[in-house]
Amino acid sequence: MYDGEGVVGVVLAGGEGKRLRPLTYYFQKCMIPVGSCQKPLLEYILVHLRRHGIVDAKLLVGYKHEQIVNYFDDGSRFGVRIGYFIDEPSLGGSGGALLNAAAKGAFKDKNTLLVYYGDILSDINLSEMVRQHVESGAAATLAVTDGFEVPVGVAEVEGRVVRGWTEKPRIDVYAGIGVVALSPVALGALKELAVSRERIDIMGDLVPFLLERGEGVEAYLTDAFWYDVGSTERYEKIDNGQIDKLFSN
């Protein structure tokens, strides 16, 4: 287990969860219940951070944040210290939320930000990922898995004739799983991007910008379980028994 020194867990928990409607008309998306005990998705994330020695957690919140605050309070019930940072409307996106929190001192004296998207379930080895990130000196380290199952059928077409069909094929790519470690240099890059943007996405904007500047971006390759709960279809297909087995206390 990584000792957690200099590391802060940053959970993106402010989105409206439009792909999870109508559920998110009533719930903040990271408060949607999962597992046989019907605990909020965010609880699994925070407990997983704690298991890897990351007890300082900053929650970047916005939409229906009252639900999160009322349930988790200061985090002591879950063995973590929670700080809440409400998204500012002046700069949108996950990158904007990160900059807003940074401006309010959320990451003071921290050399590693472990950013975790709030609609992802995974038992990824966070200790190993953080250790690799720190030892490499990279600006960013992305958690990726080898292979991705396309959620739709794929046709092989010649002209207008279908020559083949594969239902939900697994393609040979390195897919991001919604966890990324960032160094202070990445925050500096975010500030540069903010000068000319109204919205910044961490994965869609910051990572390409770091690559363009020649900053070190590494991959942490994992075969851990991960599940994107970000749509009603995905939510309906959760195997609660598997969740119980992987995340039992």
Check: CATH 3.90.550.10 for 7-145+172-247?
Answer: yes
User: Of residues 4 and 130, which shows the higher confidence score?
Assistant: 130
Residues 6+ apart with CB under 8 A from 99: 91, 187, 190, 191, 194, 200
Please state, in angstroms and as integers, the Cα–Cα distance from residue 51 to each residue in 48, 150, 154, 181, 249, following that order: 5, 32, 40, 17, 10
Decide if pLDDT at 57 tops 60: yes
Q: Running DSSP on this structure, what letter comes out for residue 63?
A: T
Question: Quick one: average pLDDT of 36-59?
Answer: 92
> Is 152 in contact with 74 (CB distance < 8 Å)?
no
Q: d(Cα 125, Cα 130) in Å, to the nearest integer?
A: 9
pLDDT band for position 11 (cuts 50, 70, 90): very high
Residue 39 phi/psi, 5° resolution?
A: -85, 155
Query: Which of the four pLDDT bands, split at 50, 70 and 90, describes residue 242?
Result: confident
**What span, in angstroms and rounded, lies between the C-alpha atoms of 63 and 28?**
7
Distance between the two ends of the chain, CA-based, in angstroms?
Answer: 16
